[in-house]
Structure 1
Amino acid sequence: MSNRSIRPLVFWPPFLLLFAAVAASYITPDQFLSFTTSINSWILDRFSWLFSLGTLLMVVTCVWVYVSPLGAVKIGGKDATPILSRWRWFSIALCTTVAIGILFWGTAEPMYHLHGPPASLGLEAGSPEAATFAMSTMFLHWSFTPYAIYTIPSLMFALAYYNLKLPYSLGSALAPILGRKLQGPMGQVLDAVALYALVAGMAASLGTGILTLAGGLDNLIGTGTTPVVLGALTTLIVVSFIISAASGLKRGIAILSSLNTRFFFVFCAFVFIFGPTNWILSMGVEGFGDYIGTFFQKSTFTGIAASDPWPQWWTIFYWANWLAWAPIAALFLGKISRGYTVRQFILTNLVFPSLFACVWMSIFSGSALFFDMHGNGLLHNALTNTGAESVVYTMLEQLPLPGITAVIFVFVSFLSYVTAADSNTEAMANLCAETPSESPERADSAGSSTLVLKVVWGATIGIIAWFMTSYAGVDGIKMMSNLGGLPALFIVLGCNASLIYVMTSKKFELHPDAQPAPGARLSEDLLDELIGEGGKKPAST
């Protein structure tokens, strides 16, 4: 650890900008929210088409890579050994990405779509057609497209880091198309932009998560939602994920992710068995059929012809949010994939999590639709009167043992954020640290990033989240994180182009030196063929 120091261009700009944003949101909250909202609206107005087309391209590219010869290439070389078992790898991939979101939005979001479908589609609010639309939209927003957004940069970084032996930086994932231009100061700027978007996003996510947990505890034992309660919850969460991240990949992160995933399966089974089982099966099948049949239409729906703002409010807003998180998450997801083939990578990071998300949404979103449509708008009333965090508790009250299930849900919500935050904290700390040689053999070591940086970023996220929830508002910071979606879109599209280049060049998978054993180096000739000579070669290559 002593041979590592902070990369100032990566660490300080996002660190200072985040605290400036928090100060602005407190001093002039209305103006700050208006400013960030106007910029966000401008981005969505001008680039909705690119968000829609770009994310669709990522799904298509994942399918293309899977069936290509590149699918047989082992990450790290033909003799590379896996860092994690298949189950732990899957559980980390699931919990690192969108798992925290499915808990809170799996029941609340369908209520928005059921009672407020896009005006341009001519659906009557609360109608069976709106219910089918809501169900299929949940599949669109939470399954294959979001996981494709994470898979593309993660896979390209894994190949660049392990097989091309390039540095631990986002610039390495763009090396096949941009050469080594992004391995100097420009690469650090790229890392800083991605880091800012992720930290702001994690703080906003933690803020809303704290409010949800506080609401659940208040509902159970009447604790209230005072700044003291919010501060205690924030401290507990932050300390937990810092300890988990500091304990290393094979201990804290892997164990908590595995436990969290098992809780997901148990919760799914409980609601499926004791909920409206036949409705869940039928609505899930109907919704999935609508999702498949209208996939390309919904993926490219911008609402421009009818001046319908719905796609920007929901689908494109989601894409911007996922994209803002994707670059940093890619560093972690790519780093833990050593020893598996590209095809196994796509199965574990895209296909299996997406199928799980489809099952989850069939059960929870389907149940929410059932209880609302057969209960005179029961859940929609909870959404309107109390907020999104109350919808799931209202639904659980319609099932057996509501008190027990509510307690378990609060615990699973806590665990979900911790498991998502610890892996991203690991990636942030690695990204901010300078090291003379970042060898793949150290990728599974808990000491591969400094504990100090993990504590700093964990504490920063916690302080911002507590301050926002107690004294300011999360909307402005959430908007600021979504602003990172535009630069992140270009980063991930660049990774997509790099992946296509590597796949179609026929050099990577056919050249005997393209799959070196861990610790070996590719030949300089092959590096020049794949990466080009755009810049000075780093000493470690």
Structure 2
Amino acid sequence: MKYPLRPLVFWPTFLILLAAVIASYLDLQAFLAVSKTLNRMILDNFSWLFSASSFLLVVLTAIVYFSPLGRVRIGGEDAQPLLSKWRWFMVALCTTLAVGVLFWTTAEPLYHLYGPPSSLKIAPGSPEATSFAMSTMFLHWTLTPYAIYLVPSLVFALVFYNLRSNFSIGAMLQPLIGAERVKRYAGLIDTLAMFALVAGMASSLGTGALTLSGGLSQYIGGETTPLRLALIIAVIVITFVASAASGLQKGIVKLSTFNTWIMLALGLFVLVSGPTLYMLSLGVESIGLYLQTFFSRSLFTGAASGDNWPQSWTVFYWSVWFAWAPVSALFLGKIGRGYTVREFIHTNMLYPALFTALWICIFSGCSLYFDAQGSGALNRVLNEQGVEHVLYQMFQQLPASGLMIAFLLFIAFISFVTAADSSTDVIGNLCSRGVTADSDLDGSPLLKVVWGVIIGSVSWVMVAFVGIDGVKMLSNLGGLPGMLIVLLASSALIIWLKNPALLAQPTAMQEPSTPPPAALSTPAHPALEPTP
């Protein structure tokens, strides 16, 4: 095999996931009770840390951007970019929050409209609640989540390309604890972070299959059966595994480019055919409220009033982003070679946040408008039929709804695939030895196929026979360790801010390209979600 297996990363992740599936199958209620209790303990005891950490990452990003570190080139002054700036942006956009943004921007504002925090004394369904709902969407989906992804991605890019480290999540801690300690604990760190990603991918794939099945039922009728779910999951898995296995340039870039263009077309259609003036006006007004309350809302934990709204929404989101950030950082960092730190911040935070803000103005504004016109019609769909039906119901109010819902189904499919292929690419690399800054960076195609099959199988079993909540809860449990990894990794930026010259001193920390024979034999694999 070109890139032999790292058994201490592959097998623990696979066996823990298998044990979780078996436990949830034997006694789902007990399994959910335990996982929900653990989630609640984490959110109750560490809400302050999630809020403070996410806010500090935004501040740290701003400091780095305007510092001399911003001029450092990833890979050195002579490094050649892997991708053009436009393709780089499209890949970064489609592999982070695009899937979540597609669906949640229509449903989530309805939750905030009719269930604002009790401590803020906002009447549900009021004009104040409408402004609150929109401003909350900007808080949850723009600068802060992208900062959570950006910081570890930037650290990994500089460690991997400038310090010539190995392809590992643990490598991000090298500037803080040294190369030798990183080599000793890298396998454990990679396993913890990868498990959160694999569980999240299985959860997202199952949720995506349910969403696509709900859309298909509007055309072909019938119930969502295990067979229908199996067929949908199989098509998604085959597509994203083929994309990931074909490599960065052939598969992932082309699919992300296509996905970006069709999302732009969809957004333009809704902007032109929907309540354009209302969407833009409410969006601009709500951006003002978001900026005005950014500091207080970012650090809002509800402790003084006993309000648990932040734990249910904002802090929960930070936990999800932190769970995904360490592994996503490997892919985002890998594709940043040849550009400066400042350009990296543009492409991985500022431009995607602007795109998402415009998307929120269009889709959240449209959802709130049609809900008000129908006296709470979309909210009734949300409560009676579920999140996945709100977007389709909103499109029923627009021209050519039959054609556009079919187009929406296609976009949903492509969006799930583009989010999954980059994660599968990273999973394959993490489980492989010998992936270095000087290699082709594509890892083992076989491992990507194996993980794709495992993730597809797990998501089908959970969604068809057990319930997807079990895997989703497991994914969320990765928030605390993910946050600790990101915070420790962010210390590297503080060290480099004081002495950027350290990035010109490469260390020899690569794994040997030819591992001992004992490490050559073993098989492996899972994969999928963005963001909420």
TM-score class, shorter: over 0.9
CA contact (8 A) 1:171 1:182 kept: no
For 1:22 and 1:299, the matched residues in 2 are separated by: 35
The reply on whether 1:507 has 2:501 as its aligned counterpart is yes
CA contact (8 A) 2:331 2:426 kept: yes
- Deviation of 1:223 after TM superposition, in Å, equals 4.2
Q: Which TM-score applies when normalising by structure 1?
A: 0.93
The reply on whether 1:488 has 2:485 as its aligned counterpart is no
The reply on whether 1:242 has 2:241 as its aligned counterpart is yes
Q: Which runs of 5+ in 2 are unaligned?
A: 514-532
Residue aligned with 1:47, SS: helix
The reply on whether 1:453 has 2:450 as its aligned counterpart is no
Residue aligned with 2:122, SS: coil
Amino acid paired to 2:465: Y
Amino acid paired to 1:467: V
Q: Which runs of 5+ in 1 are unaligned?
A: 515-521, 528-535
For 1:421 and 1:462, the matched residues in 2 are separated by: 11
Distance 1:398 1:238, change over 3 A: same
The reply on whether 1:463 has 2:457 as its aligned counterpart is yes
Partner of 2:252: 253
The reply on whether 1:54 has 2:48 as its aligned counterpart is no
Pick one of 469, 473, 481 that aligns with 1:479: 473
Any idea what the Cα deviations from partners look like across 1:380-433, whole Å, max 9, x if unmatched? 010011000110111001100111111111111110110011011011110011
For 1:280 and 1:182, the matched residues in 2 are separated by: 53
Alignment of 1:258-337 (within 5 A): 258-337=257-336
For 2:506 and 2:195, the matched residues in 1 are separated by: 35
Q: Which TM-score applies when normalising by structure 2?
A: 0.94
CA contact (8 A) 1:9 1:185 kept: no
For 2:416 and 2:46, the matched residues in 1 are separated by: 30
For 2:511 and 2:390, the matched residues in 1 are separated by: 53
Residue aligned with 2:224, SS: coil
Partner of 1:352: 351
Any idea what the Cα deviations from partners look like across 1:208-232, whole Å, max 9, x if unmatched? 1110000000012214310000000
For 1:538 and 1:246, the matched residues in 2 are separated by: 22
CA contact (8 A) 1:172 1:182 kept: no
- Deviation of 1:468 after TM superposition, in Å, equals 1.1
- Deviation of 1:320 after TM superposition, in Å, equals 0.7
For 1:537 and 1:202, the matched residues in 2 are separated by: 28
The reply on whether 1:399 has 2:398 as its aligned counterpart is yes
Amino acid paired to 1:287: S
Partner of 1:229: 228
Residue aligned with 2:24, SS: helix
Deviating runs (4+, > 3 A) in structure 1? 536-540
Any idea what the Cα deviations from partners look like across 1:352-396, whole Å, max 9, x if unmatched? 000000000000000101111121001001001100011011100
For 2:454 and 2:344, the matched residues in 1 are separated by: 32
Partner of 2:413: 414
The reply on whether 1:92 has 2:91 as its aligned counterpart is yes
The reply on whether 1:440 has 2:437 as its aligned counterpart is yes
Partner of 2:22: 23
Any idea what the Cα deviations from partners look like across 1:169-215, whole Å, max 9, x if unmatched? 11211111111244334111000000000000111111111100000
Q: CA RMSD in A?
A: 1.4
For 2:445 and 2:42, the matched residues in 1 are separated by: 37
Residue aligned with 2:374, SS: coil
Partner of 2:526: none
Residue aligned with 2:303, SS: coil
Partner of 1:120: 119
For 2:126 and 2:351, the matched residues in 1 are separated by: 32
Partner of 2:521: none
The reply on whether 1:77 has 2:71 as its aligned counterpart is no
The reply on whether 1:162 has 2:156 as its aligned counterpart is no
CA contact (8 A) 1:143 1:355 kept: yes
Any idea what the Cα deviations from partners look like across 1:121-143, whole Å, max 9, x if unmatched? 11111000000000000001111
- Deviation of 1:506 after TM superposition, in Å, equals 3.8
Alignment of 1:130-145 (within 5 A): 130-145=129-144
For 1:218 and 1:185, the matched residues in 2 are separated by: 52
CA contact (8 A) 2:131 2:282 kept: yes
Partner of 1:531: none
Distance 1:420 1:182, change over 3 A: farther
Alignment of 1:418-433 (within 5 A): 418-433=417-432
Amino acid paired to 1:450: S
Distance 1:523 1:38, change over 3 A: closer
CA contact (8 A) 2:141 2:353 kept: yes
- Deviation of 1:450 after TM superposition, in Å, equals 1.1
For 2:222 and 2:80, the matched residues in 1 are separated by: 49
Partner of 2:36: 37
CA contact (8 A) 2:167 2:436 kept: no
Residue aligned with 2:438, SS: helix
For 1:121 and 1:183, the matched residues in 2 are separated by: 46
Amino acid paired to 2:462: M
CA contact (8 A) 1:223 1:229 kept: no
Count of residues in Structure 1 that have an aligned counterpart in Structure 2:
513
Distance 1:538 1:103, change over 3 A: closer
Partner of 1:517: none
CA contact (8 A) 1:135 1:366 kept: yes
CA contact (8 A) 2:165 2:510 kept: no
Alignment of 1:97-116 (within 5 A): 97-116=96-115
Any idea what the Cα deviations from partners look like across 1:490-519, whole Å, max 9, x if unmatched? 00011111111112224236xxxx1xxxxx
Distance 1:356 1:537, change over 3 A: closer
Residue aligned with 2:501, SS: coil
Among the aligned pairs, what percent are the same residue?
Answer: 52
- Deviation of 1:487 after TM superposition, in Å, equals 0.2
Distance 1:167 1:326, change over 3 A: same
CA contact (8 A) 1:242 1:458 kept: yes
- Deviation of 1:439 after TM superposition, in Å, equals 3.4
